[in-house]
Amino acid sequence: MEATCARALEIGLPAIAFTEHADYVRAFAEQRPVDMHGYLESVERCRSKFPGLRILSGVELGEPHRFPAEVSALLRVAPLDRVLGSVHTIRQAGAAVDMSQGLLTPEAAPALVREYLAELLTLLESEQPFEVLAHLDYPKRYWPHAELAYRETDFEEELRAVLEAADGRSAVLEVNTTRGAEPGRGLCPGPIVLGWWWELGGERVSFGSDSHEPAKIAAGFAAAAALVEAAGFRPSDDPAGFWRR
């Protein structure tokens, strides 16, 4: 975290948010519940060491609708500046499998993406207390782009349902820049989905580089800002604030 703060200052960021993963699905053997007390101690240490950088606390809740008791206990530990909600997995043979684990073959990909979007809609229709919807088209990162073109219009009905549910709960739509520079993948979401968000009345947009290492902090933000501005959204007076229509 300290190296990430140092990198943020180096590239001129006025603020940074550490939205630590809170995943209760055992899709990977090494996953453990987040230690919120240790995390918050680390945030305070960074705030003390880097007084010139605004450091926001936060958490990304993975599949929180499936773990309401665990999520409730976590959020009671302390107030957080940012709370994200996300989905990474679908159910296969009763087990949670992350979309990154080679599921998306050319034959299976379209149906699996629809399963993912159905799970995401369930999350949005739940009462889980998150504000930002993270990487709504997460499977696009792992789509077999070399063998099959990814077209948002193939999933327009499902994506619009997700966006309508997000707008209905006044959620913030994240533009996730992970792998955004890679040909065929692009930002999550890209211009078509962002245009639907505007059309449906979506009010706010956030940016997330989803960087798990200091060198990638804010990677792709310039492209994301240009995309979001072209869609009609404008930056907040607060450098750490959401962009608005």
Q: Where are the domains of the chain?
A: 2-244
2-244: CATH class: alpha beta
Name every residue whose Cβ is closer than 8 Å to that of residue 107 and which is 6 or more positions away in sequence.
Answer: none
Indicate whether this model's pTM tops 0.85. Answer: yes
Whole-angstrom CA distances from 98 to 25, 63, 90 are 9, 11, 7
Please give the Cα distance from 228 to 209 (Å, whole number): 15
Structure tokens at 34: 């987040």
List the chain pLDDT tens, one digit each, 245 residues. Answer: 999 999 999 999 999 999 999 998 865 545 667 899 999 999 999 999 999 999 999 999 999 999 999 999 999 999 999 999 999 999 888 888 999 999 999 999 999 999 999 999 999 999 999 999 999 999 999 999 999 999 999 999 999 999 999 999 999 999 999 876 666 678 999 999 999 999 999 999 999 998 889 999 999 999 999 999 999 999 999 989 999 99
Residue 149 half-sphere exposure toward CB, CA atoms < 13 A: 4
Nearest to 205 by CA among 241, 181, 157: 241
